[in-house]
């Protein structure tokens, strides 16, 4: 029973689809952001798994994972600031009621 590349890919796929379902089916914007973080983590697992099992000496996948983490941190900071600002103006973070741009 050895753990191979497929184990990590399927684990990452399961986590990605859980996050996708949550991001599509929730009404609270903060919950949607949490699900997006789960999806980004799943992508990072695939990056590190490919780096380990396919180009084991180059470590490029781990460097890509570091850049993804940077972008995820920036996205979380800006996204949560937007939600706090929206809550201050409209008293809600329900995405079904954020329809100002809908014609």
Partner 1 sequence: MTGVGIAIGFWVLAVVAVASALAVVLWRNILRAALILVLCFVSIAGIYITLNADFLAAVQVLIYAGAIAIVIVFAVMLTRDAPRGNQLNRFWFPALVISALMLIVIIYTSLSTDWKTVAELASEPTTSAIATALFDKEKGFILPFEIASVLLLAATIGAIALAREK
Told to check if 97 binds partner 1 by CB under 8 A, we report: no
Six-digit token pair at 3?
């753990």
CA distances to 49, 77, 94 from 39, rounded to whole Å, are 16, 17, 21
Closer of 60 and 103 to partner 1 (Cβ): 60
Told to check if 3 binds partner 1 by CB under 8 A, we report: yes
What are the residues whose beta carbons fall under 8 Å from the beta carbon of 89, sequence distance 6 or more?
none
Looking at residues 12 to 71 of the shown chain, list those that interact with partner 1 (rule: CB under 8 A): 13-22, 24-28, 30-31, 33-35, 37-38, 41, 44-45, 48-49, 51-60, 62-63, 65-67, 69-71
Q: Count the residues of the shown chain that bind partner 1, applying the rule CB under 8 A.
A: 76
Residue 28 is classified by DSSP as: B
CB of 38 to partner 1, least distance (A): 5
Six-digit token pair at 40?
């980004």
């Amino acid at each position: 029973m050895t753990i191979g590349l497929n184990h990590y890919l399927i684990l990452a796929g399961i986590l990605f689809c859980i996050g996708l379902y949550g991001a599509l089916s929730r009404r609270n914007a903060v919950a949607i952001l949490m699900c997006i973080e789960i999806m980004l983590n799943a992508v990072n697992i695939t990056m590190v798994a490919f780096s380990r099992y396919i180009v084991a000496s180059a470590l490029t996948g781990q460097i890509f994972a570091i850049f993804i983490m940077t972008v995820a941190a920036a996205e979380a900071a800006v996204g949560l600031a937007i939600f706090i600002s929206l809550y201050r103006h409209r008293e809600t973070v329900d995405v079904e009621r954020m329809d100002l741009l809908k014609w």
